[in-house]
Structure 1
Amino acid sequence: MTDLVAGIAGLWRGQRWVARHPRWWVFGMVPALVALVLIGAALAALFWWLGDLVDWATPFAAHWSPGWQRSFRDLVTVLTAAGALLLGVVAFTGLTLAIGQPFYERLVREVAPPPGAPEVGILDSLVGGFRVALRAAGCGVGLFLLGCVPVVGQVLAPVLGVLVSGYFLTVELTGMAFELHGVPATERLRGRRALAVGFGAPLVLAFLVPLATVVLMPGAVAGAALLATGLSTAERPHPTRG
């Protein structure tokens, strides 16, 4: 519970930082707005054709009774839409960081300057984001199967979806700062899942409100930089005195 609260506090610290530096906040919203338009267009196209896609993907249900057929396909439609939203949240963050990579790297260095850190390339950001998206997609399949369980699954799947998405959002947002501090991917947020969920879950819920994520993204990057820097500093071995 302590880590969960600390994650929420970390997100709040980032929002306060950009509130005190409005220039960074305004420019930081531009990449997020571009990414929102692209992801929004992709999701809108998916939802427009979702009914036809579900009918095409479930031909075995064509011979069921009308009531069972409609109920099953409605359930598949809802679960597919929820999975698309989960993946869309993660993809939005990755795309935003890739589009605004030079700017966000400067923002991270401004918030919490790492000593002697190399530059992070756009290709590195894209590859990192793609890996996180693949992991999120794998979790999305598991949540889809869980959602097929009557009653229990339909309650647990949305809740777990928010928590899982929040974790992967934090993984993406802290990736640049960890990279600048030279922390290997396998060491980042290890054993700190509650901290990651506390930081990212509010952003997932904000994604459901139009333009809210665009407004919060600069502060999320700043908060993630502070979070990653704090963890990197705490875990860095101190030199012994002779």
Structure 2
Amino acid sequence: MRFFFFIIICLLLSFGCRNSFQKSRPQIRGICLLTADKSTTLDGITSIDSTWVFKFFKDDHVIYKLPKIEYKDSRTKMRNDTIDLEFFNPDTTFRYFVAKNNSDFGIEYDNNLNRKNKVNMDSLLKEIGVHPSMFGAYKLDLGKPAKIEKQTTDIQIEKYLNKKLVEDDSDSIYRYFDKSLVEINFSFSPSLDKEKNSKLFKTSFIHTYNDKKVNRKNILRSEFYSEFKRISIVDPSFYISLIKKYEHDKKIMGLSKL
């Protein structure tokens, strides 16, 4: 009987310690938001023009991490009658924008975490292309999908055939949903997320040109897509300290109500 009670006590202590550890462990999530324009020419050459933004969440705080690329070297090169300026040795640093969820203003920090400016968050989100008002194309009613593919238990892809009104319209649209991302505090389309009981994490607009009607740039196929991916956070303490710095700087700047 004593042994039975001893086992019960151990189990309770184990659960309590485990539960305490889970509560004390920093809960930070991060995603990478990517927008890309991909094109393939008749020569088989593929080029991608892309931009990306990192977003981190902790409790009621949000951090946007933006890359800033500067080139150390450049040179001019003559091509026929045209002078091209080429850049070399890129140096990538980052800017950080910290705010509370749904706050009108945040604070900007440079790569060395020096406090820079008070920032209007609405203007920032529009500037970097992640404002909800810019996601209208992802919420369109496309009717019934022509094909549904179940990649995994969580991931589902829906293909839609688009009725083209002009030549440059997409001829097909793909939507990617992932149920494992429902806890992420970001959405391209809250209505679709709710309808599918999942998370729309990527939308792809594809245009395939007829060989006889290839456009002037010799492009055979083009794809424009936006997506977000969950990322691993190597050093959570960095973002914890940044949030603490933000809370401290708010008081110094007289922005304690942010």
Shorter-chain TM-score category? under 0.3
TM norm structure 1: 0.26
Of Structure 1 and Structure 2, the greater helix share is in: 1
Of Structure 1 and Structure 2, the greater strand share is in: 2
For the pair shown, the structure with the greater C-alpha radius of gyration is: 2
Which structure carries more relative contact order (alpha carbon 8 Å, separation 6+)?
Answer: 1
